[in-house]
Amino acid sequence: MFKKNKTIDISENNENVVEENENFEIEGIEESTEIKIKKIKENLKKCENEKKEYLDGWQRSKAELINFKKGTELSKKELLLFANENLIVEIINVLDSFNMAFSNKDHWEKVDENWRKGVEYIYNQLLNTLKNFGVEVINPIKEKFNPSYHISVDSMDVENEKEDHIILEVLQNGYNLNGKNVRPARVKIGIYKGHK
């Protein structure tokens, strides 16, 4: 509410001079301003909390998306690395046939030399092609037997304790594809007689 104050001033000439002073009294404005400021502060705090929630959610979603992309990329790379695994395992069986033919030295030496060289060339060409696709032959002679990479199909008694569970002979090659074992080697291991 506003009030106007009038003051009368008597001067030397006895003239009445009326001055109007406009003094405004502000009733309740201080109180309503404090309430407004309090509401604004509450609203600001609420907005800051919402902003933080939205930012946290956005950052979490962004991190999930990045992790999803990485996972998808890894899956795609793994798929590309091992997509031909079944085909390669079938081709490995063909290599086994070559190896069986080569292992019978007496018969192999009796075969016409030109034909034999041609077959050996085809074998090496096939082996090199597989190497280009990440296939490696496991030849674990003199290595410690590891059931993750080897299958023991035979054993032989040994006198030396150091040869216990050592691979003495590879009966069928094992193969890895880009570091993954796709076929364990079939091996003959040594068993130390003193070991119980």
Assigned token pair, 96 = 């086994």
The residue-averaged pLDDT of 29-47 equals 86
The closest alpha carbon to 135, from 175, 183, 89, 91, belongs to: 175
Average pLDDT, the chain: 83
Q: What SS3 class is residue 85?
A: helix
The predicted model scores a pTM of: 0.58
User: Residues near 30 by Cβ (< 8 Å), separated by ≥ 6?
Assistant: none
Q: How confident is the model at residue 12 (pLDDT cuts 50, 70, 90)?
A: low
Domain coordinates of the chain in residue numbers? Answer: 5-82, 85-192
The residue-averaged pLDDT of 141-168 equals 89
Which CB contacts under 8 angstroms, 24+ apart, belong to 145-149?
145/187, 145/189, 148/181, 148/184, 149/174, 149/181, 149/184, 149/185
Count Cβ atoms within 10 A of the Cβ of residue 82 and give its class: 0-12 exposed, 13-18 middle, 19 or more buried. middle
Q: Are the CB atoms for 189 and 152 separated by under 8 Å?
A: yes
CA angle 174, 112, 120 (to 5 degrees): 25
pLDDT score recorded for residue 92: 93
DSSP 8-class letter at 154: E
CA distance 181 to 6: 106
Q: How confident is the model at residue 161 (pLDDT cuts 50, 70, 90)?
A: confident
Assigned token pair, 181 = 């074992």
Fold of 85-192: Nucleotide Exchange Factor Grpe; Chain A, domain 2 (2.30.22)
pLDDT digit string, tens, across residues 1-10 = 444 444 445 5
Q: Is the pLDDT of residue 52 over 60?
A: yes
pLDDT score recorded for residue 181: 92
pLDDT digit string, tens, across residues 67-123 = 999 988 888 888 877 778 888 999 999 999 999 889 888 888 888 999 999 999 999
CA angle 180, 98, 86 (to 5 degrees): 35
